[in-house]
Amino acid sequence: MTSSPSSSSSSTTILEEEEEEEEDPENPANAKPKGPIGQAFDFLSAVALVCATAVAAVAGASYYVQTTEELEKKVKGKDFEKEIAVPGAQRFAEYLLEFRQFIDEKSSHYLDPISDKLLPDHPPDAMYIPHTLVLDLDDTLINSNWNRERGWRVFKRPGVDPFLEHLAQFYEMVVFTDQLLTYGEPILERLDPKRYVTHRLYRESAQYKHGEYIRDLSKLNRDMERVLYISSKPKSAEMNPENVIPIQPWRYEDGSTDTALLDLMPFLESIVRLGVADVRAVLSSYKEEMKRTGKDIPHIFRERQQKFQKKRLEQAKQVAPIGRGRKKIDAW
């Protein structure tokens, strides 16, 4: 007699439940207690693992905290292995140093500027060598803005046209941006169609450091005593802070009332007209007053000019007449 499906299903279920399970030797529940020797072996293994982790941690910290030169000097020092006091540490450190040098060599192609001379030499027969004015691009001369209706648009900062046109008479002008050439070149073609800006430098000319693209002004192939850099991000030239003129960042939302570029023009023109030998000394004086008063460079410049004019007038009143003329006044 055949059994019904329900009874067949029931018997199958009972057989599965009653089936003996084979012991799994890898299951911790089935592991047999270890004797004293096994426990001692486990303890020594754990100690060895901790020591290896500590050595790796020290090595990793040395790798990231120290420069390659510092690491090489330390590894090749006479007392290195005595200081670490771990067998084989010297050889491990040498492998680490070799790896670090290999990485540095390969990464320098992508992190370092394309050249140590980013600008061409001045003509050898040049009668006059101008000061160099380096300008950042984004939020200094332009601002890229997006909204849902029109997408991305690039807007010129108010005053940028007369700023470039006027100062091109006094300076060798350079735009130095951290943007790619494919982004920056079309913008500069429209921003500066008359080529007031003599040179254009892009991301490949910058130094990649700590996640930022830094402008190393010392690689411009120019006398640093005659180089000025204007940027809304002063840290973008952190290697040469003494050459930086900070300016407020401009956004499209700020509107057309911004006058920061126009306000800087008299100060920049005076640098050239007065033949300042080292711009860094002048900027240092202004920055000290900025920290003390909270005022910007154009404001301080205007105040100093007013004081100078007042002093000249006072001196003129005190000069005794000589004949029909008056004594010449020393402007400074």
Query: What are the catalytic residues?
Result: 136, 138
300 half-sphere exposure, CB direction, 13 A CA radius: 16
3-state secondary structure labels for all residues of 90-145: HHHHHHHHHHHHHHHHHHHHHHCCCCCCCCCCCCCCCCCCCEEEEECCECCCEEEE
The Cα-based distances of 165 to 161, 202, 236, 307 in angstroms read 6, 22, 25, 30
* Identity at 281, one-letter amino acid code: A
Nearest-angstrom CA–CA distance, 329 and 303: 21
Can you read off the two tokens belonging to residue 203?
């991301």
Residue with tokens 């004594």: 327
Q: Is 201 strand, coil or helix?
A: strand
Query: Within 10 Å of residue 236's Cβ, how many Cβ atoms?
Result: 21
| Nearest by Cα to 245 from 197, 178, 290, 188 | 290
Q: Is 24 strand, coil or helix?
A: coil
Beta bridge partners of 267: none
Nearest-angstrom CA–CA distance, 236 and 210: 11
Structural contact between residues 232 and 139, judged by C-beta atoms closer than 8 angstroms: yes
